[in-house]
């Protein structure tokens, strides 16, 4: 007997990430009975297994601690043999089109470089913690600059929920630092905790860079609002600076959605079914969603163990911006929704975006002692807005505290060079193999002066950048996502400006630059310059919100225009990727949608 026949739910949520957790918690508090279906594993009792996998992994990439395990003794596990496979940055090299290694069926000109998780807690298991609000002009790009599109809501309408989200996550920040480009707070508002202290790297950058100008905007280093504890908060301890926010905070000083999932469970009204893959959204003749069909399994690569369906009054798809459109497109309803559910606009799957990152790295003239503190504690936010947005993409600059770990995998690369006589790092130009005190001196000089800047470029929405269904399947026989991706000239102009900014900042710091383009497909040539790019893990746009049913998939409450009891939540509803990391806005919108669902009389 399937579980659905024994339980009755007010709401069914697909996906146990931040959006699903926030909405389940809010509905559960109000006595609504909620089921969360999670395709991946259920909540573990602690992070010990994740930490063990991380410590022993040869590739300490964002996805590596989580399940199902990406690697076995022979290498990457074939995603076609897994019931809930997901992408990994390990398939962004020459193997990016290899169906035995890469889960996504990438058919575009360029690889989509961001990944996501299918596990309880979702992709935020390995978020950095950055909790920036968007700036007001992020919501009004068309009106203000004649570019991109407007959102159907603005900063002022979202402001209240930004505050709620900051308290639900537990954000450490300095309000005065965050009041730029029109970001405003109610006079009596305070962040839950004081800011995270600036690192020595931040302090060194600020000492020289504050007051510089670029394209009419002053550069100012400010502390970054962070979903990590600067004081004990929410029964979690303070950050100990493990320098490992991505892939995993070992002490959960950094928020992750398991915190809110546990609060949802504590209401007594929420249940989570792990290893339960939603396979169809069933719509009746009146346009109401009636049920969600699912397939269950017991082990990562084992057979299906149950199939069933579950009914409710309200359905919320919270499976992030690639699996949600995939599920919608899969759901044809015997021809009643031939283009998929919620897709009368033909916009489901389109306008896939990211913050492609221009990564620049250098050595300071003096030690700045990276590899200490949270991965990032400050950035330069003043370039997020300006009249230049008429002509090119804006960006924020993230200052990294992890040396050259992100750019070249240090300290491993440099240590290997110094001991085995190589020069992959370009910090050992003579290629000499060292030992003894000569080794420790050279290693200390090399590692202690490293730092990097990440430029998160606002990618323009393009209908051709899209998620569709592949004819490749996973182990349950469900289609895998097909992704078509490219980067527009508007966005590439942002990279040109980012390079200009990096060059100017490094020159001002007297830092020796080592930025280089790594081999592989994630690169493009524009105006005579070749740029490499990285994914930011910010997957956005594939079921955008808007003002009417022809220009969007959902309304400002993230409610489907086509199906009144269906909500599509998460960053897939963002009309633009904007200039801040998306999580805080995802959470704010989820809380706002929870209020809308409750107000609708559920």
Query: Is residue 244 a contact residue for another protein (CB under 8 A)?
Result: yes
Q: Which of residues 41-70 bind another protein (CB under 8 A)?
A: 51-52, 54-58, 60
Query: Is residue 195 a contact residue for another protein (CB under 8 A)?
Result: no
Instruction: Identify which of residues 269 and 405 has a Cβ nearer to another protein in the complex.
Output: 405
Instruction: Identify which of residues 94 and 157 has a Cβ nearer to another protein in the complex.
Output: 94
Query: Is residue 227 a contact residue for another protein (CB under 8 A)?
Result: no
Q: Where in 52-173 does DSSP place strands (E)? A: 71-72, 75-76, 105-106
| 8 Å CB contact between 85 and 100 | no
Place of tokens 């963002």: 574
Of 2-10, 140-148, 232-240, 553-561: span binding another protein (CB under 8 A): 232-240
Query: Is residue 374 a contact residue for another protein (CB under 8 A)?
Result: yes
**What is the C-alpha separation between 241 and 177, in angstroms, rounded?**
22
What is the DSSP track for 350-416? -S-B--PEEEEEEE-SS----S-SSS--EEE-GGGSSGGGGTS--EEEEEPSSTTHHHH-TTHHHHH
Of 36-44, 271-279, 436-444, 524-532: span binding another protein (CB under 8 A): 436-444
**What is the C-alpha separation between 210 and 230, in angstroms, rounded?**
25
Closest CA to 193 of 176, 173, 175, 177: 173
Instruction: Identify which of residues 71 and 330 has a Cβ nearer to another protein in the complex.
Output: 71
- For 307: left if phi > 0, alpha if psi spans -120 to 50, otherwise beta; the answer is beta
Query: Is residue 95 a contact residue for another protein (CB under 8 A)?
Result: no
Instruction: Identify which of residues 136 and 403 has a Cβ nearer to another protein in the complex.
Output: 403
Of 124-132, 344-352, 429-437, 594-602: span binding another protein (CB under 8 A): 429-437
With CB under 8 A as the rule, give the number of residues binding another protein: 54
Of 113-121, 344-352, 414-422, 507-515: span binding another protein (CB under 8 A): 414-422
Query: Is residue 406 a contact residue for another protein (CB under 8 A)?
Result: no
- State the minimum distance, in angstroms, from the CB of residue 423 to another protein: 11
Q: Which of residues 442-471 bind another protein (CB under 8 A)?
A: 443-444, 447-448
- State the minimum distance, in angstroms, from the CB of residue 80 to another protein: 24
Instruction: Identify which of residues 389 and 449 has a Cβ nearer to another protein in the complex.
Output: 449
Query: Is residue 437 a contact residue for another protein (CB under 8 A)?
Result: yes
**What is the C-alpha separation between 419 and 421, in angstroms, rounded?**
6
Kindly state the tokens that stand for 452.
């990097």
Instruction: Identify which of residues 403 and 580 has a Cβ nearer to another protein in the complex.
Output: 403
Query: Is residue 312 a contact residue for another protein (CB under 8 A)?
Result: no
Of 148-156, 433-441, 551-559, 583-591: span binding another protein (CB under 8 A): 433-441
Query: Is residue 29 a contact residue for another protein (CB under 8 A)?
Result: no
| 8 Å CB contact between 577 and 150 | no
Kindly state the tokens that stand for 25.
């918690």
Three-state DSSP class for 101? coil
- State the minimum distance, in angstroms, from the CB of residue 133 to another protein: 24
| 8 Å CB contact between 199 and 136 | no
Of 117-125, 241-249, 480-488, 589-597: span binding another protein (CB under 8 A): 241-249
| 8 Å CB contact between 161 and 588 | yes
**Bridge partners (DSSP) listed for residue 530:** 525
Instruction: Identify which of residues 186 and 430 has a Cβ nearer to another protein in the complex.
Output: 430
**What is the C-alpha separation between 73 and 82, in angstroms, rounded?**
16
**What is the C-alpha separation between 6 and 503, in angstroms, rounded?**
63
Instruction: Identify which of residues 56 and 599 has a Cβ nearer to another protein in the complex.
Output: 56
Q: What are phi and psi of 546, to 5 degrees?
A: -165, -170
Query: Is residue 416 a contact residue for another protein (CB under 8 A)?
Result: yes
- Selected from 20, 373, 379, 407, the binder of another protein by CB under 8 A is 373
* Dihedral (Cα; 375, 203, 455, 353), 10-degree rounding: 50
Query: Is residue 474 a contact residue for another protein (CB under 8 A)?
Result: no
Query: Is residue 513 a contact residue for another protein (CB under 8 A)?
Result: no
Query: Is residue 308 a contact residue for another protein (CB under 8 A)?
Result: no
Query: Is residue 170 a contact residue for another protein (CB under 8 A)?
Result: no
| 8 Å CB contact between 558 and 545 | yes
| 8 Å CB contact between 314 and 602 | yes
Of 256-264, 330-338, 364-372, 576-584: span binding another protein (CB under 8 A): 364-372
- State the minimum distance, in angstroms, from the CB of residue 174 to another protein: 14
- Selected from 123, 199, 363, 585, the binder of another protein by CB under 8 A is 199
**What is the C-alpha separation between 196 and 14, in angstroms, rounded?**
34
**What is the C-alpha separation between 501 and 406, in angstroms, rounded?**
19
Query: Is residue 241 a contact residue for another protein (CB under 8 A)?
Result: yes
- State the minimum distance, in angstroms, from the CB of residue 246 to another protein: 10
Query: Is residue 203 a contact residue for another protein (CB under 8 A)?
Result: yes
Query: Is residue 575 a contact residue for another protein (CB under 8 A)?
Result: no
**What is the C-alpha separation between 297 and 67, in angstroms, rounded?**
14
Query: Is residue 200 a contact residue for another protein (CB under 8 A)?
Result: yes
Query: Is residue 440 a contact residue for another protein (CB under 8 A)?
Result: yes
User: How many residues can be counted in the chain?
Assistant: 602
Q: Which of residues 322-361 bind another protein (CB under 8 A)?
A: none
Closest CA to 396 of 382, 414, 406, 409: 382
Query: Is residue 111 a contact residue for another protein (CB under 8 A)?
Result: no
What is the DSSP track for 13-75? EE--SHHHHHHHHHHHHTT--EEEE-SS----SSSHHHHHHHHH-SS--TTTTSSS-SEETTE
Three-state DSSP class for 129? coil
- State the minimum distance, in angstroms, from the CB of residue 220 to another protein: 18
Query: Is residue 366 a contact residue for another protein (CB under 8 A)?
Result: no
Query: Is residue 438 a contact residue for another protein (CB under 8 A)?
Result: yes
Of 271-279, 386-394, 415-423, 533-541: span binding another protein (CB under 8 A): 415-423
Query: Is residue 402 a contact residue for another protein (CB under 8 A)?
Result: yes
Query: Is residue 407 a contact residue for another protein (CB under 8 A)?
Result: no
Closest CA to 360 of 427, 447, 455: 455
Question: Where are the alpha helices (H) located in 175-255, listed in sequence order?
Answer: 175-178, 200-209
> Which residues make up the interface to another protein (CB under 8 A)?
51-52, 54-58, 60, 197-200, 203, 230, 238-244, 248, 250, 367, 369-374, 377, 401-403, 405, 411-412, 415-416, 419-422, 433, 435-440, 443-444, 447-448
């Amino acid at each position: 007997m399937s579980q659905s026949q024994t339980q009755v739910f007010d709401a069914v949520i697909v996906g146990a990430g931040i959006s699903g957790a926030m909405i389940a918690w809010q509905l559960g508090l109000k006595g609504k009975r909620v089921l969360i279906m999670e395709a991946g594993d259920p909540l573990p009792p602690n992070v010990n297994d994740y930490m063990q996998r991380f410590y022993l992994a040869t590739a300490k990439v964002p996805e590596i601690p989580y399940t199902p395990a990406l690697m076995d003794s022979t290498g990457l596990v074939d995603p076609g043999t897994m019931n809930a496979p997901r992408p990994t940055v390990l398939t962004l090299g020459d193997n990016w089109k290899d169906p035995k290694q890469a889960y996504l069926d990438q058919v575009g000109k360029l690889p989509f470089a961001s990944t996501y998780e299918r596990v309880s807690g979702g992709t935020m298991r390995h978020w950095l913690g950055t909790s920036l609000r968007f700036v007001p002009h992020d919501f009004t790009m068309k009106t203000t600059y004649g570019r991109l599109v407007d959102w159907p809501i603005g900063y002022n309408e979202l402001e209240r929920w930004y505050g709620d989200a900051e308290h639900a996550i537990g954000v450490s920040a300095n309000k005065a630092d965050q009041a730029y480009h029109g970001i405003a707070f109610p006079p009596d508002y305070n962040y839950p905790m004081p800011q995270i202290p600036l690192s020595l790297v931040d302090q060194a950058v600020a000492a020289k860079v504050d007051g510089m100008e670029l394209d009419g905007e002053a550069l100012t280093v400010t502390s970054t609002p962070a979903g990590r504890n600067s004081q004990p908060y929410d029964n979690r301890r303070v950050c100990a600076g493990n320098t490992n926010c991505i892939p995993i905070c070992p002490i959960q000083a950094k928020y992750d959605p398991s915190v809110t999932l546990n609060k949802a469970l504590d209401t007594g009204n929420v249940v989570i079914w792990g290893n339960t893959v939603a396979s169809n959204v069933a719509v009746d003749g009146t346009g109401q969603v009636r049920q969600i069909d699912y397939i269950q399994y017991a082990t990562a690569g084992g057979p299906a163990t149950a199939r069933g369906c579950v009914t409710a009054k309200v359905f919320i798809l919270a499976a992030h911006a690639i699996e949600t459109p995939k599920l919608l497109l899969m759901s044809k309803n015997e021809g009643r929704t031939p283009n998929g559910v919620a897709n009368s606009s033909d916009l489901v799957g389109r306008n896939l975006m990211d913050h492609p990152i221009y990564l620049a790295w250098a050595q300071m003239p003096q030690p700045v002692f990276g590899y200490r503190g949270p991965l990032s504690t400050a950035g330069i936010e003043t370039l997020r807005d300006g009249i230049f947005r008429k002509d090119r993409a804006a960006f924020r600059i993230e200052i990294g505290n992890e040396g050259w770990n992100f750019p070249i995998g240090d300290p491993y690369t440099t240590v290997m060079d110094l001991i085995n006589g190589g020069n992959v790092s370009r910090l050992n130009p003579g290629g000499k193999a060292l030992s003894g005190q000569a080794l420790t001196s050279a290693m200390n000089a090399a590692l202690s002066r490293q730092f990097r800047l990440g430029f998160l470029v606002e990618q323009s929405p393009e209908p051709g950048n899209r998620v569709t269904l592949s004819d490749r399947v996973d182990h349950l026989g469900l289609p895998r996502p097909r992704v078509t991706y490219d980067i527009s000239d508007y966005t590439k102009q942002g990279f040109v400006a980012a390079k200009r900014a990096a060059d100017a900042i490094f020159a001002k710091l007297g830092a020796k630059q080592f930025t280089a383009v790594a081999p592989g497909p994630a690169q493009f040539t524009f105006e005579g310059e070749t740029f490499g790019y990285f994914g930011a893990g910010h997957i956005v746009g594939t079921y955008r919100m808007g003002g009417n049913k022809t220009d969007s998939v959902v309304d400002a409450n993230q409610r489907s225009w086509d199906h009144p009891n269906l909500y599509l939540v998460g960053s897939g509803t963002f009309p633009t990727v904007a200039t801040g990391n998306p999580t805080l806005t995802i959470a704010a919108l989820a809380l706002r949608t929870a209020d809308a669902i409750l107000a609708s009389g559920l």
